[in-house]
Amino acid sequence: MKELRRLVLNSGLTEDFKWRQPCYTLNGANVCIVSSFKDCAFISFFKGALLSDPEELLSRAGEHTQAARLIRFTEHQQILDLEKEIAALIQQALEIEKAGLKVENTNPPELVYPDELQELFSQQTHFQDAFEQLSPGRQRAYLMFFSAAKQSQTRLNRILKYQDRILDGKGINDCVCGHSKKMPGCDGSHKFFP
């Protein structure tokens, strides 16, 4: 992570700290982030889908990732071997942000409503109305979470657990205690208040 940080700081981006990780910005806009998992470190570009990547170093974080792209490293030497290529990608990301380019969401994933949710909607139209008032991103997050459960009863339990939150217009990761310093997101402040 120190090597990646050094490369990013050499680009002239501003270092910030977001999501408990070093994040690099241009005029307040997120450009890239350096982070680690148990078995690797990585640099992720927020608008990575716009980067030219002839060496095919970049990959998606997950199947639903639209804009971001990252490079994973499991050994320090990998970073040293690719230093020029990484620096070029950082510079490219900087130029993309300067130009104000945006990633178009050309192929949004189809929203799949679990049967249990559809059944509740048929019984409680106010619940369906509240769900449909949520932003598409909040709807998608709930649907992915509900659908990830393999058993019907687990899906139903998840839906019922979050029903009040949906009725209040809150997303799955939104603050509900009112103490978060990063509204509307939850920053864990609820753990310190009764």
pLDDT > 90? residue 164:
yes
| Percentage of the residues of the chain whose pLDDT score is greater than 90 | 63
Rounded distance between C-alpha atoms, residue 107 and residue 160, angstroms: 30
Q: How far is CA 107 from CA 9, 53, 59, 67, 137, in A?
A: 34, 21, 17, 11, 14
Mean pLDDT of 124-153: 93
Give per-residue pLDDT as tens, 114-129. Answer: 999 999 999 999 999 9
Q: What is the pLDDT of residue 10?
A: 92
Give per-residue pLDDT as tens, 44-68. Answer: 999 999 999 999 999 988 877 888 9
Q: What is the pLDDT of residue 136?
A: 85
Q: Which carries the bigger pLDDT value, residue 109 or residue 32?
A: 32
Domains plus CATH for the chain?
2-98 (3.90.1150), 109-194 (no CATH)
Q: What is the pLDDT of residue 20?
A: 83
